[in-house]
């Protein structure tokens, strides 16, 4: 039995660093996928007709990360308690960016749907949390705000920014209001393991089932 648990631990350890797949399947409404190099600094990528989303890539978290949105439903700048994603977790992240042109007021809606099997862990819509994770999971070719801006995340004025997560946690729908500044949200997902990783985990599960039947006999 000890050899079984030892093998299980080895497989899970490998799975955390094994090849994995994650991507935007498609977007709807005003949501548009963008690609690096890209700047998230206020005024450098303005649009009153599009909400941008950038695939920041896969990251093995070097430290714990806090998420303030993590259940199905409609959410804004949710207060604590936060969900803690532990160090060593393999995550995929995406940054959502809305910065209307000039000083014009704009409100847009848009959705992102991820590849089959990719599941949302949660989001950061609270400004301080975004700044903490910029250096941890940010894209190496993207430029992030260097000066702290209290209004970078979700706000209630000029309108209640919100994100809606379905029961499947496989997509996210945004309603964003902005005027003088940006609205940002960071999405954390669990990537889809590679076929070889899935096969390894399934083989260990089968071995466990065989052992349970033998023990019962």
Q: What is the mean pLDDT of residues 189-217?
A: 50
Residue 156, pLDDT > 90, answer no
Q: Residue 32 domain-assigned?
A: no
Q: Which domain holds residue 174?
A: 43-194
Q: Residue 151 domain-assigned?
A: yes
Q: Residue 95 domain-assigned?
A: yes
Q: Residue 216 domain-assigned?
A: no
- CB of 38 closer than 8 Å to CB of 143: yes
- Determine the number of helices (DSSP H) and then strands (DSSP E) in the chain: 3, 16
Q: What predicted TM-score, i.e. pTM, was given to this entire model?
A: 0.82
pLDDT band at 211 (very low <50, low <70, confident <90, very high): very low
CB atoms within 10 A of CB 56: 22
Q: Residue 78 domain-assigned?
A: yes
Q: Residue 61 domain-assigned?
A: yes
The beta-strand segments (E) located in 16-69 are 20-21, 24-29, 31-34, 38-39, 51-60, 65-67
**Calpha distance 72→187 (Å, rounded):** 14
81-127 pLDDT per residue, tens: 999 999 999 999 999 999 999 887 899 999 999 999 999 999 999 99
The count of domains in the chain is 1
17-59 pLDDT per residue, tens: 456 778 999 999 999 999 999 999 999 999 999 999 999 999 9
């Amino acid at each position: 039995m000890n050899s079984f648990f030892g093998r299980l631990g080895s497989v899970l350890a490998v799975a955390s660093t094994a090849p994995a797949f994650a991507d935007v399947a498609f977007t709807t409404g005003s949501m548009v996928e963008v690609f690096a190099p890209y700047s998230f600094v206020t005024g450098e990528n303005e649009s009153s007709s599009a909400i941008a989303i950038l695939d920041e890539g896969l990251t093995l978290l070097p430290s714990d990360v806090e998420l303030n949105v993590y259940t199905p439903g409609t959410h804004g700048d949710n207060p604590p308690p936060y969900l803690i994603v532990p160090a060593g977790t393999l995550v995929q992240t995406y940054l959502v960016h809305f910065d209307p042109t000039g000083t014009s007021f704009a409100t847009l809606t848009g959705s992102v749907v991820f590849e089959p099997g990719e599941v949302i862990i949660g989001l950061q819509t609270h400004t301080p949390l975004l700044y903490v994770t910029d250096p941890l999971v940010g894209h190496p070719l993207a430029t992030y705000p260097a000066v702290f801006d209290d209004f970078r995340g979700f706000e209630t004025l000029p309108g209640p920014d919100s994100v809606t997560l379905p029961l499947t946690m496989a997509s996210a729908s945004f309603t964003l209001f902005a005027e003088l500044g940006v609205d940002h949200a960071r999405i954390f997902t669990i990537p889809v393991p590679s076929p070889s990783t899935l096969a390894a985990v399934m083989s260990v599960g089968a071995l466990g089932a065989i052992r349970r039947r033998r023990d019962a006999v």
